[in-house]
Amino acid sequence: MNFTGSHILSIGQFEREDIARIFAVADQMSPYAHRERVTKVLDGAILGSMFFEPSTRTRVSFGGAFNLLGGEVRETIGFASSAIVKGESLYDTARVLSGYSDVIAMRHPAEGSVDEFADASRVPVINGGDGTNEHPSQALLDLYTIKKELKDIGRVDIDGLRIALIGDLKYGRTVHSLCKLLLLYKNITVTLISPEELRMPGEIVEEMRSAGLTVIESALMEESISSVDIAYSTRIQEERFANKEEANLYRGRYRLNQAIYTRFCDPNTVIMHPLPRDSREGAKELDDDLNNNPNLAIFRQTDNGILVRMALFALVLDVVDQIDTHSRAVNWYTGSRF
């Protein structure tokens, strides 16, 4: 695809070469995200950050990524301060707000709303999550993390990946998107570990099998994580259930901790999670005792989110080739945080 001026709405819009392009640009962002160098390539540009549904990490990650490219951020959070309650159409909102910025990152609780907004927008729109539908930058940062973690253990590419997805596979938007992304790769084995009631939707399983992926379904975790590269744990999406009691039937069903990891997993098995992880008693899908396990990649995932979002902005605004020319060394204390 031609990224320049395009909306980023769905992982379905990407070919394998597009993913490769995004990841190559993300790699290029490393010295800026890791605070070795500063670039001002988007000095003077404005990101409209429209989070009609609250979110801290995605919102701050998009905003921080834009700042790291030298741009400014104007934020709108929630519906209270919106003209929508006065009967304004999403078309009008998009026409107006897209006149105030160079690119928009948007989250909205209603499925399809970001597409509708993008149709009317006069600037590129990046989907930051529309209900249970899509959240493409999250899927991209997950796959980017997988690629980097595999590379750290000597694997050249995503082809051949063996991954276990664990937990609430019914409501987890991120695992749905990740599965769809994996359709682009070869020789993939996906092990789906969930309670019977929270299985991956059948159409996604079918889609994977039709594309040639090996899909294994299981209700048991320990036996199923012994030969995977990645163990990807998820939180029970409490807010999607009828009530908390129903969610509690599943919370804590699968708990990965250091003892289980040591006993069942191959060495170097990478542990991932889309975060937030639920650390309350009764949940703990990833135990705190894994925090010092070097293969716990969950915070590298969120760090990689910055790289991927910087890449999307740079591609959509067509400044990839100018990033380094507008750069200089960092002049303040940065420690060794990464």
Q: Which of residues 119-158 bind its own copies (CB under 8 A)?
A: 122-124
153 strand-pairing partners: none
Q: Is 107 a catalytic residue?
A: yes
Query: Among residues 56 and 227, whose Cβ is nearest to its own copies?
Result: 56
Copy the structure tokens of residue 223. Answer: 């036996």
Among the listed residues 7, 59, 108, 135, the single catalytic one is 135
Query: Among residues 51 and 185, whose Cβ is nearest to its own copies?
Result: 51
Q: Which of 44, 39, 17 lies closest to 28 in space, CA to CA?
A: 39
Q: Is 151 a catalytic residue?
A: no
Identified binder of its own copies from the candidate list 18, 30, 31, 55, rule CB under 8 A = 55
Q: Is 135 a catalytic residue?
A: yes
Q: Which of residues 267-326 bind its own copies (CB under 8 A)?
A: 275-280, 283, 288, 291, 299, 302-303, 306, 316-319, 322
Query: Among residues 131 and 160, whose Cβ is nearest to its own copies?
Result: 131
**Least distance to its own copies, CB of residue 101, Å:** 7
Interface with its own copies by CB under 8 A: which range of 11-19, 129-137, 221-229, 232-240? 232-240
Told to check if 337 binds its own copies by CB under 8 A, we report yes
Query: Among residues 84 and 259, whose Cβ is nearest to its own copies?
Result: 84
Burial bucket for residue 51 (CB in 10 Å: 0-12, 13-18, 19+): buried
Identified binder of its own copies from the candidate list 28, 30, 76, 132, rule CB under 8 A = 76
**107 vs 219: CA distance, rounded Å:** 33
DSSP 146-182: HHHHHHHTT--SSTT-EEEEES-TTT-HHHHHHHHHH
Q: Is 57 a catalytic residue?
A: yes
Q: Is 7 a catalytic residue?
A: no
Identified binder of its own copies from the candidate list 26, 45, 104, 272, rule CB under 8 A = 45
Among the listed residues 7, 59, 107, 180, the single catalytic one is 107
Query: Among residues 126 and 317, whose Cβ is nearest to its own copies?
Result: 317
Identified binder of its own copies from the candidate list 96, 110, 153, 259, rule CB under 8 A = 96
3-class secondary structure, 6: coil
What region, left, alpha or beta, does residue 107 occupy, with left being phi > 0 and alpha being psi -120 to 50 degrees?
beta
Identified binder of its own copies from the candidate list 59, 135, 176, 253, rule CB under 8 A = 59
Pairing verdict, β 46-51 and 103-108: parallel
Question: Which residues touch 125 (CB under 8 Å, ≥6 apart)?
Answer: 7, 8, 9, 98, 103, 104, 105, 106, 114, 117, 118
Q: Give the up-direction half-sphere exposure of residue 183: CA atoms within 13 A in the CB hemisphere.
A: 20
**Least distance to its own copies, CB of residue 324, Å:** 13
**220 vs 216: CA distance, rounded Å:** 11
State the catalytic residues. Answer: 57-58, 86, 107, 135
